[in-house]
């Protein structure tokens, strides 16, 4: 399992690099990993995308609870 601090760092870095596109890019990356059979990587990047959405206030891209 990836530590929460690392997920936060990934989310901040992705948001800084990609801005408004960060959530979509993180979700795309997650899906690419899933398609390649990396289900753990998919889960990690899906969590990163959720953190970006919360940080950015992008609630329509946030995962439904």
For residue 29, the model assigns a pLDDT of 96
Query: Alpha-carbon distance 11 to 39, whole Å?
Result: 19
Could you state, in order of their start, the residue ranges of all structural domains in the chain? 4-56
Name the pTM for this structure.
Answer: 0.81
Closest listed residue to residue 16, CA positions, set 61, 60, 55: 55
The pLDDT of residue 63: 52
What confidence tens digit (pLDDT) does each residue in 1-48 have? 899 999 999 999 999 999 999 999 999 999 999 999 999 999 999 999
């Amino acid at each position: 399992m990836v530590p929460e601090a690392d997920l936060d760092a990934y989310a901040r870095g992705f948001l800084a690099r990609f801005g408004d596109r960060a959530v979509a890019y993180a979700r795309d990356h997650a899906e690419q990993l899933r398609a390649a059979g990396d289900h753990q990587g998919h889960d990690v990047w899906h969590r990163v995308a959720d953190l970006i959405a919360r940080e950015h206030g992008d609630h329509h891209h946030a995962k439904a609870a």
